[in-house]
Structure 1
Amino acid sequence: MRNVLVAQVGARFAAEIGQVPGVVDERFAHDGGGMGRGCPRQLRPAGSVNLVFGGQALVTTGQGADGMVREATTINTWAIAIARTLDARGIDSVRLFTEAGLDPALLRDPNGRYPVLKMAHLWKLAVAATGDACLGLRAAAYVQPATFHSLGLAMMASQNLEDALQRTARYSRIVSNAVDIVIERTAEGVKEVVRFLDGVPVVEEAIDLVMASTAKMGRMLTGLERLPIEIRLCRQGDAAMQAEFAAYFACPVQFGAEENSLLIPHAWMQQPLPMANPDLARQNDRVVMEYLRRFDGARVSEKVRAELISRLPAGEPARADVAAALNMSEKTLQRRLRDEDSSYQGVLDETRRELAQQYLRNRQVSVCEVTFRLGFSDQSSFTRAFKRWTGVSPGEFRNA
């Protein structure tokens, strides 16, 4: 059965890549789109966890870890979904990009980023040119795992859907540094809520693309055809639009809601993914973290996490050594982490816990090996720490 699911997901993944000419196209090297904003929520001025599944937030500036104000951006892979949707309708996407102040040539740069306000302008031009209020749903046809950069590949290799969502919440700055994602547990299931910076214009069709991309990726990862079980949107829609959305998502869609969110049952979130591969997931995590380290304004806690992962196999890294690797003093490191409501010990514990759970799910890795991969001097120390983090021993976790 597992082999069948792997084949199905693999075939779907291959089909998605094959249907997107932009993967090899001379003008558009990859896919993407943008994202607007719905119900406004005020975010912390710096250090928020950012967008999960996609898109473009509509803000002008944000404050980086060094206190400097910067223009908010999104990775360029999202803009290509709009371009492909326009081109498929016979509309000149290059002309609209130029009119929006976006350089189409930047789409060929695998690490390029676009300013969010110009992406907002592009969305408005695209909706006006097509006259299609459901344009966000159409653009989702051109979203595939590589649209999320290396984060998409890490999602594919995640242990289960909840693992994939938590991973995207942690590293979503690679997509956009302007919005926040919150994963909430409710009685009905796990809810993903997308929250945007307050005081910016709304691009409703872009929110639709976020939700459509989330559903598409979730179905691709799990093999389930009906996911999620509920969508809530702040936007309004007439009867015809509501019917089209309900048909597209195959679940109830509430318009005029207090938030932009989707709901997935607990059982579906815990279902093992057919292509789960902890080693591959970690490798792509490292690619994401390296990108974030180079990305101007990346959170210091993310940089510390990247240093810890690379240093843990040699023993518990000293705070002074990590600070030196980041070209700052210990006091500066402490202050920067405190500004992000974090601490060195907190990041160390969280990193160890997450890695421990990933390693323990792979039965080919012994508990002894996990102990030393995480920088513990002996197995009893690791066992005590793991019980403190999770309430169970490593063996109990592995056999659960």
Structure 2
Amino acid sequence: MTEQAVAGHSLLGTFVVPVAQALRQQGVDPVELVGQVGLDLAKAANPDWRVSQASFNELLRCSIEATGDEAFGLVAAEQLQPQVLHSLGLAWLASDTVYDGLRRLQRFGRLVATGLEPRLEEEGDSVRLILGYDPGSAGVVPASRDYAVGIVNRMCRLTLGEFLAPVSVALQRPLPSQPERWEYLLSSKVIFDAPCNCITWYRADIMEPLVTGDPALARINDEHTAAFLDSFVARTTTREVVDKI
């Protein structure tokens, strides 16, 4: 774990990669911009690399400023590949259903981002994923909410292997100047200034068995993710104890 991630919440360092790819597509030098916020893009090759939530927030803020694109968080999320989530992404992709992939996110959410508290709720013919955040995650920029929702949307489509539109998306962020851009990128009605971040799907759309499901591969990657999470929690706990001495 890096020094940047010792204090406060942290997230997978590989989340910087889709941001860098989106910057490059829009004509911005990602190495220079990432460096401006004190991060080293070369470290993305290290699976143990984590970045502080504060640093990632600043990266997104600077990216929006450099590109002039207020929807940059969603644009960056579209660049995500499953390996950015390490073994969790591979297990998610091998899930029997889209819903099973979401259950894996709920189980291993802390590995993705320590401030993230995802939970699934079922009601009637709908399933909701609520992306809750630890109260200590103060100062999260709106683009960070966009990025999180965009990543989930992207992974669900990759898992299904075809187009998948949510019933609705609620975002805990101010109304942007071009809200229709969010609806276009998410292929869904979007509610802004919502009390929580939530994605809703029809149950039938995400519980259909997938021919690409591979239980054995998913299980192997689940075991790896669980071991990685246990190791991360142990290191974090040790660091917290040392800090208190």
**Shorter chain as normaliser: what TM range?**
0.7 to 0.9
CA RMSD of aligned residues (A): 2.2
- Indicate if the aligned counterparts of 2:145 and 2:172 stay in contact, CA closer than 8 A: no
Q: Report the counterpart of residue 91 of structure 1 in structure 2.
A: 28
String of CA shifts for 1:227-285, please: whole Å, max 9, x gaps.
211101122224x6221112222221111212110001111232012211111111111
The verdict on how the C-alpha distance between 1:235 and 1:71 changes in structure 2, with shifts beyond 3 A counting, is: closer
Q: Which amino acid aligns with 1:272?
A: P
Q: Which runs of 5+ in 2 are unaligned?
A: 238-245
Alpha-carbon distance, 1:224 to partner? 4.2
- Greater alpha carbon shift after TM alignment, 121-130 vs 102-111: 102-111
Q: What is the rounded CA distance, in whole Å, between the counterparts of 2:67 and 2:130 in structure 1? A: 29
Q: Report the counterpart of residue 233 of structure 1 in structure 2.
A: 171
Q: Which amino acid aligns with 2:48?
A: N
Q: Report the counterpart of residue 127 of structure 1 in structure 2.
A: 64
Alpha-carbon distance, 1:60 to partner? 7.6
- Indicate if the aligned counterparts of 1:235 and 1:256 stay in contact, CA closer than 8 A: yes
Q: What is the rounded CA distance, in whole Å, between the counterparts of 1:98 and 1:248 in structure 2? A: 28
Q: What is the rounded CA distance, in whole Å, between the counterparts of 1:223 and 1:105 in structure 2? A: 31
Instruction: Please state whether the residue corresponding to 2:209 is helix, strand or coil.
Output: coil
Q: Report the counterpart of residue 171 of structure 1 in structure 2.
A: 108
TM-score normalised to structure 1 length: 0.55
- Indicate if the aligned counterparts of 1:97 and 1:122 stay in contact, CA closer than 8 A: yes
- Indicate if the aligned counterparts of 1:221 and 1:274 stay in contact, CA closer than 8 A: no
- Indicate if the aligned counterparts of 2:110 and 2:117 stay in contact, CA closer than 8 A: no
Q: What is the rounded CA distance, in whole Å, between the counterparts of 1:294 and 1:281 in structure 2? A: 20
Q: Which runs of 5+ in 1 are unaligned?
A: 1-58, 62-69, 301-400
Q: Report the counterpart of residue 17 of structure 1 in structure 2.
A: none
String of CA shifts for 1:169-208, please: whole Å, max 9, x gaps.
1112221112211111123411001111225113111211
Q: Report the counterpart of residue 142 of structure 2 in structure 1.
A: 204
Q: Report the counterpart of residue 269 of structure 1 in structure 2.
A: 206
Instruction: Please state whether the residue corresponding to 1:263 is helix, strand or coil.
Output: strand
Q: Report the counterpart of residue 106 of structure 1 in structure 2.
A: 43
Q: Which amino acid aligns with 2:133?
A: F
Q: Report the counterpart of residue 155 of structure 2 in structure 1.
A: 217
Instruction: Please state whether the residue corresponding to 2:69 is helix, strand or coil.
Output: coil
Choose 1 or 2 for highest CA Rg: 1
- Indicate if the aligned counterparts of 1:228 and 1:264 stay in contact, CA closer than 8 A: yes
Q: What is the rounded CA distance, in whole Å, between the counterparts of 1:172 and 1:119 in structure 2? A: 17
Q: What is the rounded CA distance, in whole Å, between the counterparts of 1:88 and 1:277 in structure 2? A: 34
Aligned pair count reads 233
String of CA shifts for 1:347-381, please: whole Å, max 9, x gaps.
xxxxxxxxxxxxxxxxxxxxxxxxxxxxxxxxxxx
The verdict on how the C-alpha distance between 1:202 and 1:178 changes in structure 2, with shifts beyond 3 A counting, is: closer
The verdict on how the C-alpha distance between 1:188 and 1:298 changes in structure 2, with shifts beyond 3 A counting, is: farther
Instruction: Please state whether the residue corresponding to 2:44 is helix, strand or coil.
Output: helix
Q: Which amino acid aligns with 2:215?
A: P
The verdict on how the C-alpha distance between 1:110 and 1:299 changes in structure 2, with shifts beyond 3 A counting, is: closer
Q: Which amino acid aligns with 1:227?
A: A
The verdict on how the C-alpha distance between 1:60 and 1:174 changes in structure 2, with shifts beyond 3 A counting, is: closer
Q: Aligned residues: percent identity? A: 28
String of CA shifts for 1:260-312, please: whole Å, max 9, x gaps.
10001111232012211111111111111221222144799xxxxxxxxxxxx
Q: What is the rounded CA distance, in whole Å, between the counterparts of 1:191 and 1:296 in structure 2? A: 27
Q: What is the rounded CA distance, in whole Å, between the counterparts of 1:156 and 1:92 in structure 2? A: 31
Alpha-carbon distance, 1:153 to partner? 0.8
Alpha-carbon distance, 1:159 to partner? 1.6
TM-score normalised to structure 2 length: 0.87
For the pair 1:139 / 2:76, whether they are aligned, the reply is yes
Alpha-carbon distance, 1:113 to partner? 1.2
Q: Which amino acid aligns with 1:212?
A: G
| Structure with more of its chain in strand, by fraction | 2
Q: Which amino acid aligns with 1:219?
A: R
Q: How does 1:7-26 map to 2 (within 5 A)?
A: none
For the pair 1:117 / 2:117, whether they are aligned, the reply is no
Alpha-carbon distance, 1:146 to partner? 0.8
Q: What is the rounded CA distance, in whole Å, between the counterparts of 2:72 and 2:134 in structure 1? A: 23
String of CA shifts for 1:102-158, please: whole Å, max 9, x gaps.
123312213311122111111111111112111012112310111110101111111
The verdict on how the C-alpha distance between 1:108 and 1:226 changes in structure 2, with shifts beyond 3 A counting, is: closer
Instruction: Please state whether the residue corresponding to 1:149 is helix, strand or coil.
Output: helix
For the pair 1:154 / 2:91, whether they are aligned, the reply is yes
Q: What is the rounded CA distance, in whole Å, between the counterparts of 2:94 and 2:73 in structure 1? A: 27
